[in-house]
Amino acid sequence: MKVNVSKKILSANEEYALQNRHLLAKQKKLCLNMISSPGSGKTTILIRTINELKGQIKIGVIEGDVQTDLDAEKIRATHAPVIQIETKGACHLSAAQVKAALSSLPISNLDLIFIENVGNLVCPSAFELGENSKIAVLSVAEGDDKAAKYPAIFARAKALLINKIDLLEAGAQVDFCLERVKADARKLNKGIEIFAISAKTGEGMSSWYDWLKKEVRNLRGD
């Protein structure tokens, strides 16, 4: 007997991710899932991006944390709509949590929804949330061997933000070879977009903003 199993059986998480994907596609909203270790600067990147793109791109944020709403509070100060998810110990956001958060965001008024995942370079990359793309963030203080050592997120991300490049200035004590990380990331993911930035000083951020505007335009088919 031959059984053709043509329909892929989805996990509960994948089911919710698919629902999120349909909702976002229907409304033509861009959704980016930011993944990094704790302390790479995701929140600071989001705050600067929201403020600099005011009047150009309407941004909402789904903020994931193991505990506390410290980051959501910071983002709230930009007046962007933000929904906090506290995972209470869990090491990644789930698509079900994101679905609930999406239902509380004023999506129709937004162009772009950032999901700030739990700080963790390993687990979140394995869980689809229904996002359009994953964005990896790495701070130069973490060292230039991280793409080789934690390949999953670098292989899956559409873009990589290498943050805190202000720490590489003359006289700084951080050893970090930008070219090594770029080469390692491109070995895993030929088309990955790479932006070397400082969310603190603003250096390199304009290329990131241009890329975001292009992604929003492409999705809308403008």
**Residue 4 Cβ vs a copy of itself, minimum distance, rounded to whole Å:** 30
Q: What are the beta bridge partners of residue 21?
A: none
Helix residue spans in the chain (DSSP H): 12-26, 42-52, 70-76, 95-104, 146-149, 151-156, 178-188, 205-220
| Candidate ranges 21-29, 48-56, 149-157, 212-220; the one touching a copy of itself (CB under 8 A) | 149-157
Pick the closest to residue 215 from 109, 56, 10, 36 (CA basis).
56
Per-residue mark of binding to a copy of itself, 109-148 (x: CB under 8 A): ---------xxxxxx--x------------x-xxx-xx-x
Q: What count of Cα atoms within 13 Å lies in the side-chain half-sphere of residue 17? A: 16
Instruction: Candidates 19, 23, 76, 91: give the one binding a copy of itself (CB under 8 A).
Output: 91
CB of 65 or CB of 131, closer to a copy of itself: 65
- Specify the residue, 58 or 92, whose C-beta has the smaller distance to a copy of itself: 92
**How far is residue 170 CA from its own chain's centroid?**
30
Q: To the nearest 10°, report the CA torsion of 97, 98, 104, 108.
A: -170
List, in order, residues 6 or more apart from 15 with CB less than 8 Å away.
95
Number of neighbouring beta carbons within 10 Å of residue 17: 22
Interface map 7-36 toward a copy of itself (x if CB under 8 A)? ------------------------------
- Per DSSP (E only), the strands in 93-180 are 112-116, 133-139, 159-163
**Closest separation between CB of residue 134 and a copy of itself, Å?**
16
Judge contact between 182 and 188, C-beta under 8 A: no
Span 161-220, contacts to a copy of itself by CB under 8 A:
164, 166-167, 171-174, 200
Query: Should residue 70 be labelled a site residue for a copy of itself when binding is judged by CB under 8 A?
Result: yes
Q: Pick from 22, 28, 54, 149 the residue near a copy of itself by CB under 8 A.
A: 149
Least distance between a copy of itself and beta carbon 161 (Å): 15
Size, binding site for a copy of itself by CB under 8 A: 37
Task: Pick the closer one to a copy of itself by CB: 117 or 132.
Answer: 117
> Which positions touch a copy of itself (CB under 8 A)?
37-39, 65-68, 70-71, 89, 91, 118-123, 126, 139, 141-143, 145-146, 148-152, 164, 166-167, 171-174, 200
